[in-house]
Structure 1
Amino acid sequence: MTQYTHMVGARTYAFADLRTLMARATPARSGDALAGLMASSAEERVAAQMALAALPLATFLNDVVVPYEADEVTRLIIDGHDAAAFAAISGLTVGDFRNWLLADDVDSAVLAAVAPGITPEMAAAVSKIMRIQDLILVAAKCRVVTAFRNTIGLPKRLSTRLQPNHPTDDARGIGASMLDGLLYGSGDAVIGINPATDNLAQIVKLLTMLDQVIDRYAIPTQSCVLTHVTNTIAAIERGAPVDLVFQSIAGTEAANRAFGIDLALLAESRAAALSLGRGTAGDNVMYFESGQGSALSANAHHGVDQQTCEARAYAVARAFKPLLVNSVVGFIGPEYLYDGKQIIRAGLEDHFCAKLLGLPMGCDVCYTNHAEADQDDMDNLLTLLAAAGCTFVMGVAGADDIMLNYQSTSFHDALYVRRLLGLKPAPEFEAWLQAMGISTGAALPAQFQRALEGIKP
């Protein structure tokens, strides 16, 4: 185990191992303070960041933050590392890597070629020494394109997840939210429901209802009921019309076990979804969510800071070629991200790290009502993420999810940022909006609303 040191003035700071160095270098956040991992002072944080900047990237291939023998995520990262892709940056330190990423000649094609050679710990390390403007500028150069019934992640596009949650899974309530969202041009990333119950029969009803709407109006999008992966596999076995398989994931084997999953189960679910052949534009069938603090909340963080744990979750996602990934950045609560400042920084870190690793990364720009944050903070983060090329954001009626009891972004918020920055939905969905008269100002077909209101699961 290697000890790392750095001198500031006459004082030498020592960091017992790589995970300690990474934790002390992390910008301040409440979760790391809760875990006893945060730097004790701004001076110690700067010393750790300077020591980290001098560290060769190759170090992360030999000195792991979670033991290889004890963790299948570590084994996935190390065994799946692409040495050929890494060759272009293998001689760089973390500080050099930052400068390289910001260079004008490092464009989308170069970043895509290098992505398989970047480990999550490398991405997390470089993010810790970057300013917010650095995180935005580099992420904006990353281009990750995926497809199922439409094409996500193309330049000058911002997709949205239409999230019509209802506290009792009422069909008319869900239908009303869907109609509202579609009229605002929301839903090209996915129409995704967090069910109020994990009852399998109800999951199948919700999947069937979504499929009816999409099929009747030939909407070029995909549906998802965000239940546990085992429920989705069971629904597929019952013949349910499953488009995307959803699962919350984390960055350690133990944290994933707390979610009731492992890598083998995720592989099984992907194979089940692929067997249905429901995609028309592509075969990316997985949808993953993650968030800083999930490993710590399960006491499964192995002494690793929450942002590095989060980046490791992206290795899990990357292995299964997802259509969509997003961080629910402020959802876990102020115990992990205390206020708007911490949420904004974390959201941009998560987006940067995932894009750097080659993922189609979105963000649930959100907060809980007991956090020191408000909608102004969300406006700031939404605008910064859109400038950074975020793949998709959430669309929730009124920005207030009445089932999950948290604050997110509304249909209007997505429309605002699309208009501000000249962004459009996925091209197939954009064409559908025009054909339906939604984006052209033409009269909406009268039967559209009547049929949506009449659908019963």
Structure 2
Amino acid sequence: MIMKTRLLGQVYQFKHLKDLFAKANEEKSGDRLAGISAESVQERIAAKQVLASLKVSDIRNHPLIPAEEDEVSRIIEEQINEPTYRKIQNWTIAELREYILDDTTTGEDLLRLCRGLTSEMIAAVTKLMSNLDLIHAANKLEIVTKCNIAIGHKGTLASRLQPNHPTDSVNGMLASLKEGLSYGIGDAVIGINPVDDSVESVKRLLHATHDFIQEWKIPTQNCVLAHVTTQMKAIEQGAPADMIFQSIAGTEAANKSFGINASLLDEANVMIRELGTSAGPQRLYFETGQGSELSAEAHFGIDQLTMESRNYGFARRYDPYILNTVVGFIGPEYLYDCKQVVRAGLEDHFMGKMHGIPMGVDICYTNHIKADQNDIEDLGVLLTAAGVNFIIAAPMGDDCMLNYQSLSYHDVATLRQTLNRRPAPLFEEWLEDVGIMQNGKLTALAGDLTVFHK
């Protein structure tokens, strides 16, 4: 591999693929914190130039973390469709980018192509793309999955209703749940982050959401986002769960810091298929976010974009119903400001879709990051244009338990109305039946919780 180039009279030499990948990445405070980012715009451009000239096979033949040293690397390598890979192994990364963006390349073409790509190859081409490239390419991909209902159809925008409560109060949670439903939110999942990661708390919340869903015949799914082992114990004790959730990472060591490995998730996948309350076939929910491997001190000198791509390679093993990146949650140490948050959100969405993952985004920020509500509304528009499967919504965009800012219920409704998106088909039928929506538009009952007091 040629690992150097001349730019404006200066020679830029890169030590190895890790170094090249990191320096070709757009500016991220996490990469700078790790001491691996480009020192100048010129060095970043030089790295992109070298990366563009590499072949697809160069990346596979020089793994950033060898398969014999890392479980995630083994899983990514084992997934490669060899006939598809052989057709493209001599393409340069620049040629791969051109193929993805070509007008004649369809979403179906990309879903076939992705089976021949490793996560590092997808990360590499992402680094060569502009924000508009990422939006245009991702929008080609339609990835439909089904738990109790199907989401991901072209022209739709699903949402996770997040009725968190600072004391796990069932009454408080139900109040937020009713408000969200009254704005047409909740087709992807009614998903609660519990304060108390105990089996009894998880059981109580699962029973409460399941009972409400059954009473009102709502075509959706429930989930309580406790640790996977807590959920498994609750399900063993009879709790009604439609899916199992877990945060994942891009290296074996980072997953170990989360208390998980592939065999545990295999076990959870079998359990939810046997004991879960959903129809399926997809019943798993994963969450990721750029910077998690660095925060766990398990990134091995690899940039956070590439690490995030490896998350999706790991997730692909399990054919999940949904996955979302929590794009601004970890903080300014990893994504410093709104520009970096927007870039990361578009990168993550594209990379997830290029793995065949049904991709969602929690469009959010913490109060110590250089971003505000206008910035995440902007990202909401960009991701909706990019065809994101679902986004997360909290009451008034303010999660009173996790203490961070997200999109609100009415933000999702506004995105649907402005960009001509609909809820998932079965969920929209239900909204019309209860009078909340008519002909794709919210009615005067929107935001009226008394709909559920009749």
Which is further off, 421-430 or 66-75? 66-75
Q: Distance in 2 between matches of 1:267 and 1:85?
A: 26
Alignment partner of 2:13: what SS? strand
- Structure 1 residue ranges without an equivalent (≥5): 452-457
Question: Alpha carbons of 1:42 and 1:436: their partners in 2 closer, same or farther (altered >3 Å)?
Answer: same
Q: Distance in 2 between matches of 1:202 and 1:193?
A: 11
Tell me whether 1:317 sits opposite 2:315 in the alignment: yes
Question: 1:6 offset after TM fit, Å?
Answer: 1.5
Residue 172 (structure 1) shift: 1.4
Change (3 A) 1:336 1:436: same
Q: Which residue of 1 aligns with 2:302?
A: 304
User: Counterpart amino acid of 1:177?
Assistant: S
Report Cα offsets for 1:316-374 as digits up to 9, x if no partner: 11110100000000000000000000000000000000101100001000000000000
Q: What corresponds to 1:450 in structure 2?
A: 453
**CA deviation string 1:266-317 (max 9, x = no partner):** 110010000025333x310000000000000000000000110011000111
Question: What residue number does 1:285 align with?
Answer: 283
For 1:179-225, what per-residue CA distance to the aligned partner results, in whole angstroms no more than 9, with x for missing partners? Answer: 11000000000000000110111110100001001111111000000
- Inter-partner Cα distance in structure 2 for 1:145 and 1:291: 22
Q: How does 1:2-401 map to 2 (within 5 A)?
A: 4-276=3-275, 278-280=277-279, 282-401=280-399
Q: Which amino acid aligns with 1:239?
A: G
How many angstroms does 1:8 deviate by? Answer: 1.1
Task: Please list the CA deviations of residues 17-42 of structure 1 after superposition, one character each: whole Å capped at 9, or x if unmatched.
Answer: 11110000001110000000100111
What code does the residue aligned with 2:269 have? Answer: R
Structure 1 residue 242: Cα displacement: 1.1
Please identify, of 5-14 and 213-222, the stretch whose mean Cα deviation from structure 2 is larger: 5-14
Cα distance in structure 1, aligned partners of 2:445 and 2:156: 25
What is the TM-score normalised by the length of structure 1?
Answer: 0.96
Amino acid at match of 1:194: N
Calculate the TM-score normalised by the size of structure 2: 0.96
Q: Confirm or deny: 8 A CA contact 2:147 2:282 kept in the other structure.
A: yes
Residue identity (%): 47
Given that residues 243 and 278 in structure 2 are in contact (C-alpha distance below 8 angstroms), is that contact kept between their aligned partners in structure 1?
no
Q: Distance in 1 between matches of 2:449 and 2:38?
A: 60
What CA distance in whole angstroms lies between the structure 2 residues aligned with 1:30 and 1:133? Answer: 22
Describe the SS at the equivalent of 1:105.
Answer: coil
> Kindly tell me: are residues 3 and 264 of structure 1, through their superposed partners in 2, closer, same or farther at Cα, counting changes over 3 Å?
farther
Deviates more, 1:2-11 or 1:211-220: 2-11
- Call closer, same or farther: CA 1:277–1:233 in 2, change over 3 Å: closer
What do you get for the CA RMSD once the two structures are aligned?
A: 1.5
**Worse overlay, 72-81 or 205-214:** 72-81
Q: Which amino acid aligns with 2:437?
A: S
State the 4+ residue runs in structure 1 displaced beyond 4 angstroms: 442-448
C-alpha contact (below 8 Å) 1:3/1:14 kept by paired residues: no
1:454 is matched with which residue?
Answer: none
* 8 Å contact from structure 1 (residues 328, 365) kept in 2: yes
| Residue aligned with 1:449, SS | helix
| 2:246–2:286 contact (8 Å) kept in structure 1 | yes
Shift in Å, 1:60: 2.0
Question: In the comparison of the two structures, how many residue pairs are matched?
Answer: 449
Maintained 8 Å contact 1:3/1:18: no
